[in-house]
Structure 1
């Protein structure tokens, strides 16, 4: 049995390394569709499940596959990764000076079993000028991040406060993952 991460995200890889987990990577080919009509936490879980099941097709039946998806929600609107510079500017302009929710769905697949969960964290972005937003977007950091910011990078300068799991905002809530792995027979502690 091997642990498989169904993601190429360097942040998720670093978090798994942080807890000492040995794993291999099988990148999922699933395209995220944030326009599906379902509650945001269900959407994040559905994406995570789809990614894990997709990677499981290329893994051994005895492997344990981890899938994850992180979205940002403001006033019921889901923000995924910005498509371009202009969309990153629009996202950060909307988030500036306000609270939003970061939701990460997590799925663990072992054989024919699928275990799912999610974590939600409230994040407040400080008030920002358009010049500050443009400078941050100009670094390129926001382009592959849900909500167009990286709390573990320069984007930490935008975050006024959080309430909930920090690792969830990075992209993988480790407590939630630990519980799902335990259900699949893998004890981390």
Structure 2
């Protein structure tokens, strides 16, 4: 199995996210990145099932690309859910501000699905992290929304940027809130025979 991952092209990260690329690079695993083209629509209802389904869809989409049939393919998708309802990526600053008002002073859940095409076919898992926001003033809501940081992020905020000032508490995996749960990623990669983090 070591021979399968001996070159960078043998592991593909199915993502265009710079945050996921940075986190995977930190694990010392050689890879290349390809952006999957999916509609991000799922027939599932529960956010955890949606996150897993979308991650699997991304893996399948990259698997269908030329030159990927023999590669390991790693994909992830992250959702933010409040009261069981998914808050996607806001379309503009006004919607971003509305998300901030809804999340203010409350606890929501971040779900990340991770899927890996490996020697045994497609495997996947889901990580969940509870995040509690401070009670935000309207001026804080407007300031964050106008900054534009949250427009390309699930739930309308980025924990690794200015958004960390919104958060009072995290219960669970911080990297999951960033969008790439490293504990799950390491487990799936090692299960496929990929040496991760100094593992021989």
TM-score bin, normalised by smaller chain: over 0.9
1:150 has 2:158 as partner: yes
- How many aligned positions are there? 188
Instruction: Give, in angstroms, the shift of residue 94 of structure 1.
Output: 0.4
Pick the aligned partner of 1:80 from 82, 88, 110. Answer: 88
Runs ≥4 residues deviating over 3 A: none
Residue 102 (structure 1) shift: 0.3
Whether 1:39 and 2:25 are equivalent positions in the alignment is no
Match of 1:116 among 104, 120, 124: 124
1:131 counterpart = 2:131: no
User: Could you tell me how far 1:177 is from its partner in structure 2?
Assistant: 0.9
Unaligned runs of 5+ in 1: none
Q: CA deviation at 1:169?
A: 0.2
The alignment yields a C-alpha RMSD, in angstroms, of 1.4
1:37 Cα deviation after fit: 4.0
Deviation at 1:112, TM superposition (A): 6.9
Q: Secondary structure at the match of 2:80?
A: strand
Aligned match of 1:161: 169
Equivalent residue for 1:54? Answer: 61
Unaligned runs of 5+ in 2: 5-9
Task: Tell me the distance in 2 between the aligned counterparts of 1:29 and 1:37.
Answer: 19
TM-score, length-scaled by structure 2: 0.90
**CA deviation after TM superposition for structure 1 residue 171, in Å:** 0.4
CA contact (8 A) 2:14 2:33 kept: yes
Query: How many angstroms does 1:187 deviate by?
Result: 2.8
Q: Is the 8 A contact 2:115 2:123 kept in 1?
A: yes
User: Offset of 1:56 from its aligned partner?
Assistant: 1.3
If you compute each CA radius of gyration, which structure gives the higher value, 1 or 2?
A: 2
Q: Distance in 1 between matches of 2:59 and 2:91?
A: 24
With normalisation by structure 1, the TM-score equals: 0.95
- Could you tell me how far apart the structure 2 residues matched to 1:26 and 1:111 are? 20
